[in-house]
Amino acid sequence: MDSLHLKTIQNLQITALCFFFVIGFIHIISGILLFNNYYINTNYLINNSFDIPFVMSGSIYGLSSIKLFFLKHQYTSKLLDTTLIMLGAILFIILIYFNLFTPDKI
């Protein structure tokens, strides 16, 4: 595989990690503030809307790490790419389902 493809996956991994840290920090701080009854409406909105991006940025980081591991060991396969994309899509669908069809406990 050429170095441009490897660099692209590395950049995707770094970007996903940055999003994971920033979104995770904001999500955790809003949860703490919501628990202590500070700015309830704003923190409720942030806490309920940042859960899917938080999990998806973590899964993109994890899946890109798996792809980089296989690329560094000179293993490339369309089946691997398809499997990783399907895992990400299934995770996204499951998150959307639980977010829309399960009631909040507040």
Q: Which two tokens stand for residue 73?
A: 């060991």
Q: What DSSP string runs through 68-89?
A: HHHHHTT---HHHHHHHHHHHH
Q: What are the pLDDT tens digits along the chain (106 aa)?
A: 567 878 988 999 999 999 999 999 999 999 899 888 888 888 888 888 888 899 999 999 999 999 889 888 888 788 888 998 999 899 999 988 888 888 766 5
Looking at residue 5, its pLDDT comes to: 79
CA 75, CA 71: separation in Å to the nearest integer? 6
Domain boundaries, the chain: 3-101
